């Protein structure tokens, strides 16, 4: 095996998140490849190992970039929080741990737009290769991958009642929404095993810690890409305020995520010329799509009081109940402390005649209230159900506001700027209402808190959405893949017009997948690694 040659590597990967950690693992599997993985955040955080810890990390700058979006009209002028993981594993180390691939049509639409190699048939082998899952059909599911995916226990009476209530309004139970079809309601598959979070740090980096050809540097903020003409030759980064350079003999792969990948391109002089010049940045390469095409899920959380006792987590985590939960977790890795953020979810068609579900609902078996360190369990017992369109058409943008790598970029979502998103959001809230008022839940004495029974018209529901909705933390698309004028990377994820530079993370998605975005981001990492190795 070749020793690491000072500051020259074959490959440099920027960002050790859902995609970057995967790429570093796969590239360094061949001992001849010298790989540098740079991560701005720390190696770990104690709360990142325990599922319940996600609530303690949502506002915690020790492991989170803690961005805030710009105020905009359809958030009623609120600057809504944009948490992003800042540690090994990236957002997979702080996220809600739901495991959702999306629909076959999502990837087929990418391929139909000219991105050869990205149809569902093409990406399915990577989804299978990443995971180790016990259920479902072998045709769709992987058994031997590094990422352990499990199902929460469906025996809970509240979840059983919710599944029955959904059935009463025509939403059937689907045991594997990551299988042949997504339609229906199911317990959330989760990146949790033995009561522990399965981040990409845990599943892709921990097992290979001793590879001599992989250097992982944490606390290493990449400040710029080094360019010689139209070729990327390395990166400049800082550790504890000290500047360093590393050179890539073959390629640099940027996997800094949807917020930071476009930021790094712009800081390096790649993007919209007027914008860069106005900040005093020399234009190295014109790419008007950098930072554009931002999409996210804008989701109101409907809130429901539950009168029957002992059913919700609010009741079960009080007093002696909390001690029981702690014991159950310590002894068996089960219960509240080891649970996925939203243990039940449904994929639903918001109107007849649609080819596939267009709305996702997710149930959290408790009410929370805001606290200084993140959401706290509320005193009132109840259930939260978020509901939103899965493939929003509203597009925003992310751009730097200064030539300073430490200044957060400005995030503008333009939520609900496309009228169809507003329409589907209202329908999604009405579907949540239909399930929560179905006969199966009557014995639990469920009553509506938000939006509130008095809000009945579309306009009233939409006004409420603008007051309360937040993202479900799935920003994508700011370095989109494609061949049109606004594409930033091609179908091989190569930055258009710059040699030896790829982007591989959620930012390359041309459109939002139908569901949560961790699984597709890991798939992108798996596929990108093959592309880099095959280019080889």
Ligand X SMILES: Cc1cc2nc3c(=O)[nH]c(=O)nc-3n(C[C@H](O)[C@H](O)[C@H](O)COP(=O)(O)OP(=O)(O)OC[C@H]3O[C@@H](n4cnc5c(N)ncnc54)[C@H](O)[C@@H]3O)c2cc1C
**Residues making contact with ligand X (CB under 6 A):** 14-20, 38-41, 58, 83-86, 90-92, 94-98, 100, 220-222, 255-258, 260, 264, 341, 473-474, 505-506, 516-519, 521
Contact indicator for 499, 130 with CB cutoff of 8 Å: no
Cis peptide before 451 (omega within 30 of 0): yes
Q: Write down the least CB distance from residue 183 to ligand X, Å.
A: 19
Q: Which is nearer to ligand X, 28 or 178 (CB)?
A: 178
Exactly one of 297, 388, 397, 474 is catalytic; which is it? 474
Q: Which is nearer to ligand X, 136 or 362 (CB)?
A: 362
Cα 469 to the chain's mean position, in Å? 17
Q: Write down the least CB distance from residue 461 to ligand X, Å.
A: 25
Contact indicator for 470, 384 with CB cutoff of 8 Å: no
Q: Which is nearer to ligand X, 426 or 524 (CB)?
A: 524
Which residues fall within 8 angstroms of residue 354, CB to CB, at 6 or more apart? none
Q: Write down the least CB distance from residue 49 to ligand X, Å.
A: 16
45 belongs to the catalytic site: no
Helix and strand element counts for the chain (H, E)? 13, 27
Q: How far apart are CA 152 and CA 141, in angstroms?
A: 17
Q: Which is nearer to ligand X, 75 or 517 (CB)?
A: 517
- Phi, psi of 178, rounded to the nearest 5 degrees: -95, 15
Q: Which is nearer to ligand X, 302 or 516 (CB)?
A: 516
Residue whose Cβ sits closest to ligand X: 17
Q: Write down the least CB distance from residue 274 to ligand X, Å.
A: 24
Q: Write down the least CB distance from residue 375 to ligand X, Å.
A: 11
CA atoms within a 13 Å half-sphere pointing along the CA-CB vector of 42:
11
Q: Which is nearer to ligand X, 242 or 454 (CB)?
A: 242
Q: How far apart are CA 408 and CA 337, in angstroms?
A: 32
Q: What is the DSSP string of 180-206?
A: S---EEEEPPBSEETTEE--HIIIIIG
Tell me how long the chain is: 536
Scored b (16 or more CB within 10 A) or e, 151-172 reads bbeeebebbebbbebbbebebe
DSSP bridge pairs for 344: 187, 363
Q: How far apart are CA 30 and CA 470, in angstroms?
A: 43
- Residues annotated as catalytic are 474
């Amino acid at each position: 095996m070749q020793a690491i040659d000072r500051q020259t590597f074959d490959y440099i990967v920027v960002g050790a998140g859902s995609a970057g950690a995967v790429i570093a693992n796969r590239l360094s599997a061949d001992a001849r490849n010298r790989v540098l993985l740079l991560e701005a955040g720390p190696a770990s955080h104690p709360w990142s190992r325990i599922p319940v810890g996600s609530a303690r990390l949502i506002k915690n700058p020790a492991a989170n970039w803690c961005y805030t979006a710009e105020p905009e009209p359809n958030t009623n002028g609120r600057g809504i929080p944009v948490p992003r993981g800042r540690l090994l594993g990236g957002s997979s180390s702080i996220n809600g741990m739901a495991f959702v691939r999306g629909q076959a049509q999502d990837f087929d639409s990418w391929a139909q737009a000219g991105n050869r190699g990205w149809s569902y048939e093409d990406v399915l082998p990577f989804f299978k290769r990443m995971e180790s899952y016990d259920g479902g059909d072998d045709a769709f599911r992987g058994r031997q991958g590094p990422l352990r995916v499990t199902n929460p226990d469906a025996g809970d009476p509240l979840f059983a009642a919710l599944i029955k209530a959904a059935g009463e309004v025509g939403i059937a139970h689907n045991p594997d929404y990551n299988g042949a079809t997504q339609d229906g309601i199911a317990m959330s598959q989760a990146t949790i095993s033995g009561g522990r979070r399965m981040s990409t740090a845990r599943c892709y980096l921990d097992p290979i810690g001793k590879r001599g050809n992989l250097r992982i540097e944490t606390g290493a903020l990449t400040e710029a890409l080094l360019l010689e003409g139209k070729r990327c030759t390395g990166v400049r980064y800082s550790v504890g305020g000290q500047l360093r350079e590393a050179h890539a003999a073959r390629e640099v792969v940027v996997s800094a995520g949807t917020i930071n990948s476009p930021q790094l391109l712009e800081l390096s002089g790649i993007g919209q010329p007027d914008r860069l010049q106005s900040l005093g940045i020399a234009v190295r390469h014109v790419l008007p799509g950098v930072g554009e095409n931002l999409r996210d899920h804008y989701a109101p959380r409907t809130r429901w009081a539950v009168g029957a006792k002992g059913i919700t987590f609010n009741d079960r985590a009080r007093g002696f109940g909390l001690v029981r939960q702690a014991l159950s977790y310590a002894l068996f890795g089960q219960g509240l402390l080891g649970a996925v953020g939203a243990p039940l979810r449904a994929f639903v068609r918001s109107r007849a005649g649609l080819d596939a579900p267009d709305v996702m609902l997710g149930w959290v078996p408790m009410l929370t209230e805001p606290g200084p360190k993140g959401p706290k369990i509320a005193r009132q017992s109840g259930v939260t159900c978020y509901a939103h369109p899965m493939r929003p058409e509203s597009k925003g943008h992310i751009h730097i506001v200064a030539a300073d790598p430490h200044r957060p970029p400005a995030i503008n979502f333009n939520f609900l700027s496309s009228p169809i998103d507003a329409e589907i959001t209202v329908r999604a809230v009405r579907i949540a209402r239909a399930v929560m008022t179905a006969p199966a839940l009557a014995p639990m004495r469920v009553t509506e808190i938000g939006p509130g029974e008095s809000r009945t018209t579309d306009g009233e529901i939409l006004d409420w959405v603008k007051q309360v909705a937040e993202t479900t933390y799935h920003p994508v698309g700011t370095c989109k893949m494609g061949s049109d004028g606004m594409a930033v990377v091609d179908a091989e994820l190569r930055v258009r017009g710059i040699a030896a530079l790829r982007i591989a993370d959620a930012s390359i998605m041309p459109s939002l997948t139908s569901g949560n975005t961790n699984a597709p981001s890991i798939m992108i990492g798996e596929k990108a690694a093959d592309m880099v190795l095959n280019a080889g």
